[in-house]
Amino acid sequence: MKKPRVMKRTVGRRELVDFPEFQIWGIEAKVDTGAYTGAIHCSDIHVETRPDGREVLHVRLLDLDHPNVHGSPLTFDEFSLRDIKSSNGDVQERYVIQTSIRLFGEDVITEFSLSDRSDMKYPVLIGRLLLRRARLIVDVARRNVSYKSSELLRQPRS
């Protein structure tokens, strides 16, 4: 017996996304089908060891100048360190966390590497892992499809 097909949603090449766990709304993200893992711009990335021996990851999320963030300090008890291939082909060791991202009004848990993206135009990168988990396809001629769809869901019906 065949499984019923789940409909795929379309996203554009750029999307406005939310990170509910961080209380961050309307961050511009680039959809990159060449990247496996997504990425979030962070600075001051360092690990501290607590007196009980557990390691804690400390970061400042996004830019200090971003109106919704102001360089919010965050800590993570659960994280990993992995080799990630950058856009220019270099392999870099980066910290990776799991968090939820909101698209089409729904939260999807996925992985993001944390890196300094200050030289990049977009602070958030959406990779193939999230596209697959959320069953999304990309239409490069469109932008902010999820955000516009979520706006329509919030409008009162007549």
3 state DSSP class of 42: strand
Judge whether 82 and 96 are in contact, CB under 8 Å: yes
* Residue pair 59/42 in contact by the 8 Å Cβ criterion: yes
Q: So what's the pLDDT on residue 158?
A: 45
Residue 148 confidence (pLDDT)? 85
For the whole model, what pTM was predicted? 0.84
10-154 sits in which CATH class? mainly beta
Q: Would you report the helix, strand and coil content of the chain in percent, each value rounded to 5?
A: 10, 50, 35
pLDDT number for residue 155:
44
CB 100 within 8 A of CB 106: no
Q: Are 79 and 86 in contact (CB under 8 A)?
A: no
pLDDT in tens, the chain (158 residues): 677 777 899 999 999 999 999 888 888 999 999 999 999 999 899 999 999 999 999 999 876 555 555 677 899 999 999 999 877 788 989 999 999 999 999 999 999 999 988 788 899 999 999 999 999 999 999 999 998 887 654 444 44
Give the model's pLDDT for residue 75.
93
Name the nearest CA neighbour of 69 among 30, 23, 13, 113. 23
